[in-house]
Amino acid sequence: MSGAVETRWLSSALGFALLTFTTITTFADEAAYQKIRGQMNKLSPFIGKWNVAATFHGMDGGVREQVATWSVSSVLDDTYLEFQTERHSKNTPERSAKVVWYITFNPRTNKYELTYFYNKSALRVTETGEYDDATREFRTRGYIPLEDGVNDETVRAIFSLKDQNKIVYTHYSMRAPLAKEWT
């Protein structure tokens, strides 16, 4: 083959390979996107504005009831739910906590992934979750190393969607002080 023919043949072969790879990647990306959307559709009852009954079970066995409002929307082409939330105790509405969080479905792990951001804090928390169709509950778990600068915290939560008119959110926390050999 001459140099010019060889170059054209090589260019054509590379072009065909690139087109084939791009097409396969596009189909794979589309399949993953459809799986994400299908799983996110299960959480669509969250979308809207809610008054939420929030119960926090502490490490000491105590229980705190809080009043919360959630504004939930589907964002980024239906691949995430965005939660804009505010909560406070019934007796001290002026001392509120604002939290923004995002939920998506990861088709590689077959789990939902949540990321939380808090007002007045650089803390970022991640959790994984599963939706139970039979109970209409979304359950999450997370681990927060050095949550308060000293202790690790393990958390779990249950978001009940059993009642179409309200969301019941129940949160559990457990802390463990660092072992002396880790300090």
Give the CATH number, domain containing residue 122.
Answer: 2.40.128
- pLDDT band per the 50, 70, 90 thresholds, residue 173: confident
- Is it the case that residue 36 has pLDDT exceeding 90? yes
Tell whether 25 is covered by a domain. Answer: no
Total domain count, the chain: 1
Tell whether 48 is covered by a domain. Answer: yes
Q: Which range marks the domain in which residue 94 is found? A: 43-182
Kindly state the average pLDDT of the residues 113-134: 90
Is the separation of the CB atoms in 150 and 177 below 8 Å?
A: yes
pLDDT at site 25: 44
Mean pLDDT over each residue of the chain, to the nearest integer: 81
pLDDT tens digits along 23-32? 444 445 888 9
- pLDDT band per the 50, 70, 90 thresholds, residue 180: very low
Tell whether 170 is covered by a domain. Answer: yes
Cα separation, 54 vs 68, whole angstroms: 7
pLDDT at site 88: 78
Express as a percent the part of the chain with pLDDT over 70: 80
- Is it the case that residue 51 has pLDDT exceeding 80? yes
Tell whether 165 is covered by a domain. Answer: yes
Minimum mean pLDDT range among 15-19, 134-138, 169-173: 15-19
Query: Which residues does residue 86 pair with via DSSP β-bridges, in sequence order?
Result: 69, 98
The answer to whether the predicted template modeling score (pTM) of the entire model surpasses 0.85 is no
- Is it the case that residue 6 has pLDDT exceeding 90? no
pLDDT at site 182: 36
- Is it the case that residue 129 has pLDDT exceeding 60? yes
Tell whether 8 is covered by a domain. Answer: no
Q: Which residues contact 94 (CB under 8 A, 6 or more apart)?
A: 88
Residue for token pair 């995002």: 102
Tell whether 119 is covered by a domain. Answer: yes
